[in-house]
Amino acid sequence: MEKQIVRKNSSVSEAVSSLLVAIGLALVIRTIVVQAFFIPSGSMEDSLLVGDYLLANKFVYGAPVDVPFTSVSLFRLPRIRDPKPGDIVIFRSPIEADKDLIKRCVAVGGQTVLVKDKTLFVDGKPFVNPPLAKYTDSRIFNGFDGNLRDNFGPYVVPEDHYFMMGDNRDNSFDSRYWLAVPDELIKGQAMSIYWSWAPDVSGPYYSGPESLPQVLFGWFVKLPSRIRMERLGNVII
């Protein structure tokens, strides 16, 4: 009987140890290597869609090591390379410290950015639009009224800063409004989409405990049609 108790205690101890090791490895991977992100807005359409879940490579830019489950950064690991124009980058918002954003880097420190009647110029040359970038508003704002969407600059990006813009150029709150992003806010490079589903725009929606059965039934019925199978596993460019 005593041997059985010892064996049982040993098994429990091994299981707990394995669980703690697994949790520790998951935290290390999340902190240093990759992290999952969700796209909540349409500012990167049609490159990234609302409802896309993606993995970000944190290692390539030198992952910031934060206190677990906080936004407090302890230090940054050595990086493989700096963000460059064309990269889709995840970074901490310059104006909302608890919020992560995802945009495309269009210019780096020392380069001059100019937006003229919606056309983006970097160092005097037109920036080649990404394949799925788009403009949805034919109006052109001159910038004199404070709306810098269509006419901005010229602006020289400070050293160790990055100018970020959404691919949905007419519907993106980005560096045209809050200027370049400092290097210390960079978190990772968008890597691939591991899950994607279209938002539920038809309901029914939760309005109290009595609505829960109807909401759950509608969720299961519509789930197959909401999954964007063609996006699963796509490499982000």
Catalytic residue flag (residue 13): no
Q: Give me the catalytic one of 47, 103, 187, 196.
A: 103
CB burial string 51-64: b at 16+ within 10 A, e below:
bbebbbbbbbbbbb
> Residue 117 and residue 139: Cα distance in Å, rounded?
9
CA terminus-to-terminus distance, the chain: 62
Q: Which two tokens stand for residue 102?
A: 């995802």
Catalytic residue flag (residue 43): yes
Closest by CA to 111, choosing from 187, 175, 45, 58, is: 175
Tell me the catalytic residues: 43, 103
